[in-house]
Structure 1
Amino acid sequence: MTLNRRLFLGTLASASAALSAPMVWGQAKPHVVVIGGGAGGATAARYLMKDSEGALDVTLIEPNATYYTCFFSNLYLGGFRDFDSLGHTYGKLADMGIKVVQDMATGVDRAARTVTLGNGDVLNYDRLVIAPGIDFVDDSVPGWSLDVAEVMPHAYKAGPQTQLLKSQVEAMPQGGTFAMVAPPNPYRCPPGPYERISMVAHLLKTNNPTGKILIFDPKENFSKRALFEEGWQKHYSGMVTWIGPDLGGANVEVRADTMEVIVDGEAEKVDVCNVIPAQKAGMIAATAGITDDAGWAPVDPASMRSKSDENIYVLGDASAQGDMPKSGFSANSQAKVAAMAIRGELTDSRVFPARYSNTCWSLIAPDDGVKVGASYEPTEEKIASVESFISETGEDAALRKSTYEESLGWYSGITADMFG
């Protein structure tokens, strides 16, 4: 399956954007408010505006002026990309006529159909798209909280945390130890922690060849395991040790003040500790009252409509939808289905049956790329996988290089599809 930039580029409509002064915003056209400017939210906003041909007013709420993609941030850690290449702004979306509001959504009144912003503004909506990504489950790793994230970074929301983790790895003493506390299922980007291990190993192999890597994992298995373990043995022999639940990986606590990982009561001194906690939907989803007991937002598989509210749609990592992994590609795919459904409802235009797809690429070493993916269709119960693929162990170098190059084309294409 080869993907390239052409799959994601569309024709942009040009218009001028105007931001209102603080007030309750009303509108003559149907108004769609989108919370979150990532792979789900930015894509939804763009397709709502583009495909409605001006029949909808679209407002995108995102607190950050520059969005840094979590996908491909591991390649920055490994030295394969510069940090600025991960950053994307919203100017082209504003040029389309989307109202881009740089603020935090702090409240949702579902009965009144309004969203409250951090500055006190209140926005009316006819439909609301919630795409807030992830937040972390408190106390899921004993001893770790956001208060110690500057010492033991999570780096699972790209930005300053990603830069901090790289600087810590680069400052490790020769022969030092990097530790990762991996997350339990479900979480953002299933292969992500293990691609990160590969990129840290590449950095250490170059600058600190006697360094060691420990992975403390509560899961019995993980995405692309055979491929990663083959790659670690081939490129980083003796450097990476995976500690699963049978050896204490599910019974871990950390001590940020002494830089220790406690495994079954025994302390392991480390030099860098990357803690990736258990995850849940971004906070605004819970604030809106649309999450379940597990912290995710259940949706209708055919449209991504919230099962709690017919006027709300939930995209990407925050949604509980079935078989699709929590990935940038998934969010982008889901956004197009939701945008089509919303446009159909509000403009009485044609809606086609939902189809979804996803591919997750991972880089193990220079020009050694692997991938996993699937196509999906909605059933009554969930979004279900109908056809899947995965790289094979033992593939030749030319194919692995081609897979990596394919991922570069996908990154250029999806970010253009998100941001214009």
Structure 2
Amino acid sequence: MKLNRRSFIGTTSLAAASLAAPAVLGAGKPRVVVIGGGAGGATAARYIAKGAKGAIDVTLVEPSRSYYTCFFSNLYIGGFRQLSSIAHSYGTLASAYGINVVHDWAVGIDRDARQVTLAGGAVLPYDRLILSPGIDFVDGAVPGWDVSAQNKMPHAYKAGSQTELLKAQIEAMPEGGTFAMVAPPNPYRCPPGPYERISMVAHLLKQTNPTAKIIVADPKPKFSKMGLFQEGWANHYAGMVDWIGADFGGGNVEVNADEMTVTIDGEVTKVDACNVIPAMKAGRICEMAGITEGNWAPVSGHTMQSRLDENIHVLGDATNQGDMPKSGFSANSQAKVAAMAVRGALTGSKVFPAKFSNTCWSLIATDDGVKVGATYEATDEKIAKVDGFISQTGEDADLRKATYEESIGWYAGITSDMFG
């Protein structure tokens, strides 16, 4: 099925099917605070407000006034989109759905008092709290790199200024120069993302700097859609991409941002641009709330409730939930389940069994799109994969073009679903 705005929303909106019951007479409206305005948080806030029809006060806390989607940001690097095309505002959520949008940082959570403290000093009480903060980086994950080096060696894994910076550095490379990427270990945001980025960097360099080289130092022995990407690199960018996996020292990496060097298994290479994507963990507010185990926040797939606090729901990249990848589509799907559960708990509206879906599209070259996806269901142990699909090597050009066009329809659909 070809996806567009209408069909995407229609096929993923079961969670909105229930009607909210009226709030209890004589009581104040229940209060929901959502922290993080991305694919999980914005969707959850919108679906709660829309479904509750005024019976719940919804506050969305997000420091950025313009939200840049990580998904499709690689296409900006490759020259297929303008940066403005992946920027979105929160005005419709406020004006059309009555959501109180607060542009500030959440800096503290008092779980006993059920209060969120903001950097500006405001305190927000809640009956239910939804955390969708995305990812932060594990300190010391790549020797020689920390966030103080991100201007010289950008991560560009939080879209916006970092994405702009990385593209500018690629465009400024000398003729025949070297681009390096340090890929992340599992699990991380958007499993195909680094390799779509390599494809887009190669696409850009093929046009502007065709003798340039790309080195990928990867701590993993294999990666998402590996056969599809390697086929695409051979077909479109022959001789340009050198992928160094774990078996060849790709996990033994150091960088020096001042000298612009990357050391792989003891071999030092001078580079002209370097994209360091470190190991990841749940957004810091999850740690501050005390709801993480290890690097991630464990949740129940039935409701997306934290396994450590039933009054908190966690969405998207920050979660340890089972089989779903950390992606924008996953976060959007989980947000609808959480919204349904929250409305049910606070207003008595009907709650259906949790169902989830995900698809990750990647662009390898002009009109050469590939995808991987699955459907999932909640069990008591985890969100479990039911079935899946993936593009095949050797597909004809018409099918690959149709896959790319499908992804464009999905992007229009999901961003409308998030921001109204």
Answer yes or no: same fold by TM over 0.5. Answer: yes
Partner of 2:356: 356
Shift of 1:127: 0.1
Contact 1:127–1:342 (CA<8 Å) still a contact in 2?
yes
* 1:111-149 per-position Cα deviation (integer Å, ceiling 9, x unaligned): 000000001110100000000000000000000000010
In the other structure, the counterpart of 1:307 is 307
Counterpart position of 1:169: 170
| Pairing of 1:301-380 with structure 2 (within 5 A) | 301-380=301-380
TM-superposed CA distance for 1:3, in Å, is: 2.3
Cα deviation, residue 2, structure 1: 3.3
Correspondence list, 1:53-132, <5 A: 53-95=53-95, 96-132=97-133
- Is 2:279 aligned against 1:271? no
Residue 263 (structure 1) shift:
1.4
In structure 2, how many angstroms separate the alpha carbons of the residues matched to 1:246 and 1:361? 27
Question: What is the CA deviation profile of residues 310-348 of structure 1, one whole-angstrom value per residue up to 9, with x for unaligned ones?
Answer: 000000000100000000000000000000000000001
Q: Is the 8 A contact 1:290 1:308 kept in 2?
A: yes
The alpha carbon displacement at 1:245 in A equals: 1.1
- Aligned residue in 2 for 1:17: none
Measured after TM superposition, the shift of residue 162 of structure 1 is 0.2
1:244 matched residue in structure 2:
245
In structure 1, the partner of 2:46 is: 46
CA positional deviation for 1:7: 3.1
Letter in 1 for 2:103: Q
Tell me how far 1:247 sits from its aligned partner: 1.2
Q: For the Cα contact (< 8 Å) 1:77–1:199, is it kept in 2?
A: yes
The answer for the alignment partner of 1:287 in structure 2 is 288
- Indicate the RMSD between aligned Cα atoms, in angstroms: 1.0
Structure 2: how far apart are the matches of 1:270 and 1:283?
31
Counterpart-to-counterpart distance in 1, 2:219 and 2:281: 17
Letter in 2 for 1:224: K
Alignment of 1:165-244 (within 5 A): 165-244=166-245
Q: Partner letter of residue 194 of structure 2?
A: P
SS at match of 1:385: strand
Separation in structure 1 between the aligned mates of residue 319 and residue 67 of structure 2, nearest angstrom: 20
Given that 1:261 and 1:267 are in contact with CA atoms closer than 8 Å, whether structure 2 keeps it comes out as yes
2 CA distance for matches of 1:200 and 1:227?
17
1:31 aligns with 31
Where 2:389 maps in the other structure, the secondary structure is strand
SS at match of 1:343: helix
Residue 134 of structure 1 corresponds to which residue in structure 2? Answer: 135
| 2:414 matched residue in structure 1 | 414
Deviation at 1:8, TM superposition (A): 4.1
CA offsets 1:197-241 (integer angstroms, 9 cap, x no match) = 000000000000000000000001100000000000000000001
SS of residue matched to 2:363: strand
Distance in 2, Cα, partners of 1:250 & 1:8: 39
Aligned to 2:18: none
3-state SS of 1:70 partner: coil
Identity of aligned residues (%): 71
Q: Does 1:3 align with 2:7?
A: no
Shift of 1:9: 4.4
What is the rounded CA distance, in whole Å, between the counterparts of 1:313 and 1:2 in structure 2?
32
Residues 4-36 of structure 1: CA deviation (Å, up to 9, x unaligned) = 21134489xxxxxxxxxxxxxxx9200000000
| Residues 35, 61 of structure 1: 8 Å contact kept | yes
Q: Check conservation: 1:75, 1:199, Cα contact below 8 A.
A: yes
**Deviation for aligned residue 1:380:** 1.6
The answer (yes or no) to whether the contact 1:8–1:416 under 8 Å persists in 2 is no
User: 2-side partners of 1:383 and 1:2: how far apart?
Assistant: 26
Deviation at residue 413 of structure 1 after TM alignment: 0.5
Cα distance between partner residues in 2 of 1:237 and 1:254? 27
Find the aligned partners of 2:241 and 2:296 in 1 and give their Cα distance.
33
Unaligned runs of 5+ in 1: 12-26
Question: Residue 296 of structure 1 aligns with which residue?
Answer: 296
TM-score, normalised to structure 2's length? 0.95
Specify the SS of the correspondent of 1:60.
strand
Aligned to 1:165, the other structure's residue is in SS state: helix
Instruction: Identify unmatched segments of 5+ residues in structure 2.
Output: 14-26
Q: For this pair of structures, how many residues does the alignment match?
A: 404
